[in-house]
Structure 1
């Protein structure tokens, strides 16, 4: 137990050095989401509910390439630790091929079946919310192939230990996104640009994403000082062995993400009959919770890279040190942010909506998230360690147990039996976080993850 109380300043410095660009990048992403949601709130609570509804569905559609991204990051971290940079390039190229195919396929399927898909999951939503959601979804689907490639390239850079380049590119793209959102949602009469409302927001996101991935690919080919770069002389043949390695990690990663996003989607379906106010309040609560989640996610990215590279080097003690130190730092950060969320819950909720009922419902959700933020740190950091080691099947199984048993089933039963609305959902989330945090922490402390082959 001494390892939990001893500080390793060298490891802490490396973790923070790798984590802060990822945290900054995630905060920039969060700011775009916050600004977009705030803008939707100015249009009306129906717009907040509609965008939140579509984002849940998009999250589910994105599960395939989320697993692919996990596989890419883990394999590149391992081969980089082993000193095999050419294999890192091959992994990125093979992942790129798969990303383009998967992205185009999902975009086409989503576009063809957009109306039945939204109707299947959210048919009980109010007509105004449903119509706005369809308009938003049909445009957002265009950016799916670009989004999947963007995620793969960024994950590859991080796996190689480069978190600053993705941060810089994301920063520029997000500034562009905010500008386009402002212009296209509200219009600029002086320049004869009309207000497009929710359609303008979808267009801004799509254009920004296309520009973002284009810049990332150009950087890969034109900046030779990066830890991971490509040239036209690299091996572009299809490599079945490398694809198999990525898929071996990617398939459990896909299933884990499908379990997670499927649970989020079903929970959203459970919330829909509670009304537009409940839907909007829940989306606002999730957006504000991103204030804590994204810094934690930044440390999880650093943890995945450092643990994966250490395992590639065969230095198991260093991998364990990075795992424990990352967790301690993330828990401290989550605790502080949780307190701030609790204190400023009313002010934060007021940023998103002027509706008193929505604000009142949102405050309870934000306060609950504030209390359980340290559990979110344990959950994400321990799962990052297990993923970096290739123990993703355990993460997949426990995700199903925790999320579907408590967040989904318990929430549904409490709403059905006691009619306590969003309170039931937050009780379910608390037990989900608690159960998965305990399972992941026990698994990490056993230490068998250090000796898995990927």
Structure 2
């Protein structure tokens, strides 16, 4: 029992760094919940179509998610080494790569928007496809800004500054909700028409442009930040530093591509189950964010603290942060899981009054509630390995867990036994169990502490 005791001093530091990230993720979650509720008010077809496009956009984001991981890990390392000049240069180089990637995704998405949506929604009902296409064609314009926004936020966190991203995200989310309300439903006395799904896409795009603009202005104008920029900094291209970022970023990209690709294929399986299943699954995922985002906030703190400790070459400190972070997050996972299981029917009714959708949603939410402690183990252990640069292992295990143990069983059980969404949740259970065990065993070996980044 002794080894399971919490270290209050370390816990205080972890929570101090994690709570702004948790608050930021909760704010993001609230916007997601409100947007999903708005879509459900428009109709089940809008909810299903926009939900599918958001899954597709998540897949397109895999490239810059890899860049963000590389940026955060490298900046955490050089900050731990006390090299703040190199931290700023890392941010600049990441920004260059982010803009190239974002513009490429925008152009490619616009050119092939119809074929892409036909590929993923060809079996969906016509209203679902039309709503999805409308949303997709507008939201693409946000990608260059969104990718840069994620890079800048990741850089700030890598330097140990989680409060500034939280404040900015809070303000931008308020703008997002206001714009969504105005543009989706209209304001007659201001002669603003109701724009439905298109209004939501415009609101999200405008919010992302505002968000990255504010973040960049703060970097240049607010003194005292752990990571700030000035016009006197070095803006020359640095292939060597880009290579260092890419060495972490490419495996990070592949890991995210594997993950998001699996999520996307799973969504295609669910599309064949009908509109009720699609809507219920989107609601279930949205409610699961209640638990996932706090866990994700602790994972961010874990990446920063472990990365900085390894930069200092203080291996005992890195080990303490990783295990204390795991203990705290598992406690959160248990509490949030109980909450989700108990209040699943009430949470589902926030989104819809369709009895069939509510019934399926409750089953999904309660399954996620049982799995929350495993989600904590999975995310914290993988965050430790990523901070150490052991991302290739995370990439390989993601392929095994998500594709071999989530997607394949989901498809097989549904096709062979007609189990529907129950088959999907069995696959998710197998995935969470397998990856949690693999990550925990890898972390316990301790070799990750001595890897070079």
Q: For residues 324-403 of structure 1, what are the structure 2 equivalents within 5 Å?
A: 324-403=323-402
CA distance in 1, matches of 2:27, 2:387: 25
Instruction: Show the counterpart of 2:68.
Output: 69
- Tell me the equivalent position of 2:115: 116
Q: Could you give the per-residue CA deviations for residues 265-319 of structure 1, whole angstroms, max 9, x where no partner exists?
A: 0000011010000000000000000000000000000000000000000000000
CA distance in 2, matches of 1:21, 1:72: 20
1:195 is aligned to: 194
- Partner of residue 312, structure 1: 311
CA distance in 2, matches of 1:184, 1:243: 40
Structure 2: how far apart are the matches of 1:102 and 1:2? 49
- Look up the match of 1:246: 245
Deviations 1:30-61 (A, max 9, x none): 00000000000111111110111001111111
Q: Which residue matches 1:11?
A: 10
Secondary structure of the 2:389 match is coil
Instruction: Give me the whole-angstrom Cα distance separating, in 1, the residues matched to 2:168 and 2:303.
Output: 21
RMSD across aligned positions (CA): 0.7
Q: In 2, distance between residues paired with 1:224 and 1:190?
A: 43
State the Cα deviation string for residues 248-272 of structure 1 (Å, max 9, x = none): 0000000000000000000000110
State the shift of 1:103 in Å: 0.2
Matches within 5 A, 1:8-407: 8-407=7-406
3-state DSSP class of the match of 1:151? helix
CA shift, 1:214, in A, is 0.1
| 1:9-34 deviation per Cα after TM superposition (whole angstroms, max 9, x unaligned) | 11100000000000000000000000
Distance in 1 of aligned mates of 2:303 and 2:416 = 42
| Cα contact 2:134–2:198 (8 A) shared by 1 | yes
Contact 2:326 2:381 in 1 (8 A): yes
- Alignment length (residue pairs): 453
1:2: Cα distance to partner? 4.8
Shift of residue 187, structure 1, vs aligned partner:
0.8
Q: How far, CA to CA, are the matches of 1:2 and 1:75 in structure 2?
A: 35
User: 1:156-197 CA distances to partner (integer Å, 9 max, x unpaired)?
Assistant: 000000000000000000000001111111111122211100
**1:327-361 Cα distance to aligned partner (Å, 9 max, x none):** 11111011101101011100100011111111111
Local SS of the residue matching 2:166: helix
* 1:6 positional shift: 2.7
Contact in 1 for aligned 2:180/2:199 (Cα 8 Å): yes
Gaps of 5+ in 1: none
Tell whether the 8 Å contact from 2:46 to 2:131 is kept in structure 1 after alignment: yes
Separation of aligned partners in 2, 1:8 and 1:309: 19
Q: Contact 2:6 / 2:327 at 8 angstroms: preserved in 1?
A: no
Q: What SS does the aligned partner of 2:51 have?
A: helix
* TM-score for both structures, normalised by structure 2: 0.99
Structure 2 residue ranges without an equivalent (≥5): none
Contact 2:22–2:294 (CA<8 Å) still a contact in 1? yes
Alpha-carbon contact 2:70-2:246 (below 8 Å) kept:
yes
Distance in 1 of aligned mates of 2:278 and 2:181: 24
Look up the SS of the partner of 1:344 in the other structure. Answer: helix
Give the Cα separation in 1 of the matches to 2:357 and 2:260: 25
SS at match of 1:228: coil
2-structure distance, mates of 1:118, 1:430 = 29
**How far is the alpha carbon of 1:122 from its aligned partner?**
1.8
